[in-house]
Amino acid sequence: MLRMVYVTPDGGRHWVDSTWRETSTLHNAVANCAPGDLIRLMPGNYFLPEPVDIPISGLEDQPIIIRGEYGAILEGRRPPDPEVSAIDPGCAKYAAFRIIGKRHIRLDNIRIERAWPSAVYIRDSNDLIFKNLQIRGGTYAFYATGEHTSRIIIENCDWIQDDVIWRYLNWAMIHDGEITPGKEAPYRYLNGAFFGADDIAGDIVIRGNDVRHCYNAVRMDVSATNLQKPIGSFNRNVRIIDNRFSFVRDNPIEPEATAVGWWVAYNQFYNCHKLFSQDNLAGGYWYYFGNRGWFDSRPGPEGDENNGGAVFKFGKSSHAQPSMPFECFHNSFFLRQKYVKKGATRMWQNRRNAIGYANPATLPINLMPLDQTLFGPTDELDLGRDEDRGVRFSGDVCNHATYPAIFDAWSGVLSNPRPAAGPIFKAGICGDLELVPEYAEGFRNPLEVPMPDGTVWKSDPQSWPGALTGKKLFNGPDYVPVDLAFIRTKTNESNSNAGD
């Protein structure tokens, strides 16, 4: 049964909903909560010298809901914590909310400020929903860990980490070991993410969020001790859908170590450094489709050498690589940076994308190299020079001067190219990525895309290259969760073939 609990900063008697009511402080309301409670935060500033620890779980049909009225602001008043950088902050560290070993909790419509290192810390919890949160500051907006952590929805939230990151801080000032090998960086506490995770099972939905002025957006890792567990045990079934990522200094999307069943679709990437990082990443069944990326700014202060960027970041040939499908189709990118800088990958199907390069002569000085290349040096990028790595480029429209000739370095990788001369988008610098008429042409046959349950999805062949057909967004496949039995069969087949 629903019980309404009214909360005010002082926990006194207040006029609420047309009557005088007894209210509680936030800590007292949460400490005494029960399944089915709706804890309503009235407008006001709430100073949280200590974290709010959720003491019990809700029930499937009676979740515990903490919901803020407009103007409810939680203030951590914490300075950045230089001990935390790209790691698990730990249960002992501050967070506005700590959810440990709990289920069926929901946070709605709350503004959280200066909660360093985390606004929300999660360990071994599941069935959690976070909607319409506004978060300012923090190494992490959300941090999750524990192999029993799964089924989390983060929707329509808004995070700004620090608005000096994009243009005013050198990249090396945030990443340890760059200025001086083995030494900590002065702004290392910014090396976090909107959603950071280590060793979680998965089933994560990150949808409709606005993430900007941060170092990373979604970064999910697996520790070395867990890499021996069966594929799909961690970082499984992750949906990153319809978000806007802006002024991201490092990587908006960064699965690490292993990932299976990632759907990155219909997102907008505006002024982001390296969109998709897949350095030392095993697994597969990754789907990138319907995404749009563009720029009108470059990162870093003058003299910062880490301002080039790329769409895809791969690791060395000796690093882990995908052994199952890696699909990238019907995306639109208006670029100042390389498509891929260096590294190696496998199983990559890059099909029917619109890859448009700006003309650097028409841009402000130093916004884009005059000689920007499509790829890094061919001797540093392995798409299948000495062996067939299963990499295929097909049906992409691209206006780079070296396309398609650059693919001569990798025999059998390219088919059905659509080279273009001049701009391919109506107004790329403005984010209008509709194709100009001369390149607005569909295909004869549908794409066939393998799904993580053994089925095959087919596209509408009338769709133009890129994310848009006219002004209509590409209609991609519906989400299909990973079938673990099928995935592990495919993994065993891949391992067997590698040993032959």
Q: What is the pLDDT of residues 328-339, one digit of tens each?
A: 999 999 999 999
Helix ranges, 318-391 (H): none
Residue 206 lies in a domain: yes
Handedness of CA 418, 312, 229, 451 (dihedral sign): negative
Enter the DSSP assignment of 163. Answer: T
Instruction: Name the token pair of 168.
Output: 């005013």
Q: How many CB atoms lie within 10 A of CB 363?
A: 16
**325 domain-assigned:** yes
Within a domain: 17: yes
In a domain, 353, yes or no: yes
Look at residue 44 and tell me if it is in a domain.
Answer: yes
Domain membership flag for residue 498: no
CATH number assigned to the domain comprising residue 112: 2.160.20
Q: Report pLDDT for 500.
A: 52
d(CA 292, CA 112): 29
Question: What is the C-alpha separation between 108 and 359, in angstroms, rounded?
Answer: 45
Written as six digits, the tokens of 17 are 């909903």
Domain that holds residue 51: 3-437+465-474
Length of the chain: 500
Quick check: is 453 in a domain? no
Place of tokens 């080279």: 419
pLDDT, tens only, 254-299: 999 999 999 999 999 999 999 999 999 999 999 999 999 999 999 9
DSSP helix/strand/coil, 168: helix
Distance CA 109, CA 97 (A): 14
Q: What is the pLDDT of residue 157?
A: 98
Residues 47-75, mean pLDDT to the nearest whole number: 97
How many separate domains does the chain show?
1
pLDDT bracket for residue 344 (50, 70, 90): very high
- Per-residue pLDDT band for 489 (boundaries 50, 70, 90) equals confident
Taking only the tens place, the pLDDT of each residue in 116-146 is 999 999 999 999 999 999 999 999 999 999 9
Is residue 487 included in any domain, yes or no? no
Q: How confident is the model at residue 441 (pLDDT cuts 50, 70, 90)?
A: very high
Region of residue 233 (left: phi > 0; alpha: psi -120 to 50; beta: else): alpha
Among 182, 291, 284, 299, residue whose Cα is nearest residue 250: 299
Mean pLDDT in residue range 28-42: 97
Q: In this structure, what DSSP letter does residue 322 have? A: B
In this prediction, residue 499 has a pLDDT band, given cuts at 50, 70 and 90, of: low
